[in-house]
Amino acid sequence: MKKVFYPGRILERNVGGNTTYTRAIASGITSYGWQVATLPYHSKAAITALLEQRSALAKPKAGELVHYSADTGPLVPVRRPSVVTVHGVASAVAQGVRNPLQEATWRTRVRAAIRCTDALITVSESSSETLQEVFGLDAARIHVIPHGIDIAQFATPTVCTSEVREQLPSEYLLYLGNVEPRKNLIQLVNAVDHLEIPLVVAGRTAWNAEGIEQRIAESPNTVRLGFVSDQDRVYLLQHCRAFIFPSLYEGFGFPVLEAMAAGAPVLATRRGSLRDVAGPAGHIEDVGASAIETALTRYFGDDAWLRDVVTPGRHWAEQFSWDKSVAAHHRLYEELIQR
């Protein structure tokens, strides 16, 4: 029996795009005859957690493989084939993503994971180029496997909970995703403060977000929903006037494709992987508030664009299939266990 281990801290919790990705691959890979198992995460301390995982992998068996699916992985090699997915290097493009200690720790752990595993996956050509530059890697070392999305989930009409519905304006712009520095939300809030249509911000508070949350709370034109369920997430995307994504950097950019699949007009920057993923989305030329406001004014003054961009957006999103992504992971897994 072939078996693949994924990090329990990613698979069994909800930590954004990394969880979406890991769950999709873990769910789909079983159709290729793989059994799925998890690495334990009982300890919050990184070193202790890694020791727990090493203990769980103490007795290797033929046909087993470990996939570290969220940037970091082992500090020393594990005694079975292994692969790590690194989604990108945000700090190479955007300032203030992490504080200096966080950044040094992250780079040290990613460098160790790359050294200690047998293969490296990333999710776009843009991310591959950044990894080559930052970590001095050869392009042949990197397997580019784009993510997918569940088109049916976002295209099927749904309803939202009364708790969310009661807070929604009749018409709204939407940002949906983690609240953290690289999402550029302070500049977005500064831009919409000058507009008549309100902004709804939905998503969990992530790291280094205190100042961002304070600015959102101060805005007279922004509604903060917090974390929302999958059902409410789909409803918000299906009913917004437009989805706005002014990110400073994305390793992939799930929300942009999800919004397109839901039928929302999308405005986005082209930072990081968004240059590969954003497709027909309206282009936010720069990341400052004035550029965001200019893009909003331009596109919202064009009723034909708001109407005509929906169908190309849906067709674009359909290109990103989990079936294709899972199949590519399976081929790599098979190659690794047969070495």
> Among all chains, which residue has been given the structure tokens 């917004």?
240
In this predicted structure, the answer to whether residue 93 has a pLDDT above a threshold of 80 is: no
Span 207-244, pLDDT tens digits: 889 999 999 999 999 999 999 999 999 999 999 999 99
Average pLDDT score over the chain: 92
In this predicted structure, the answer to whether residue 66 has a pLDDT above a threshold of 60 is: yes
Span 185-214, mean pLDDT?
Answer: 95
pTM of the shown model: 0.89
**The two domains 3-148+321-338 and 151-319 share their CATH topology (first three levels equal):** yes
Name the pLDDT band for 60 (thresholds 50, 70, 90): confident
Span 161-190, mean pLDDT?
Answer: 96
In this predicted structure, the answer to whether residue 46 has a pLDDT above a threshold of 70 is: no
User: Would you state the CATH architecture of domain 3-148+321-338?
Assistant: 3-Layer(aba) Sandwich (3.40)
The Cα–Cα gap between 86 and 134 comes to 12
Burial class (CB in 10 A: 0-12, 13-18, 19+), 105: middle
Q: What is the CATH number of domain 151-319?
A: 3.40.50.2000
The Cα–Cα gap between 237 and 254 comes to 13
Domain boundaries, the chain: 3-148+321-338, 151-319
Span 105-119, mean pLDDT?
Answer: 93
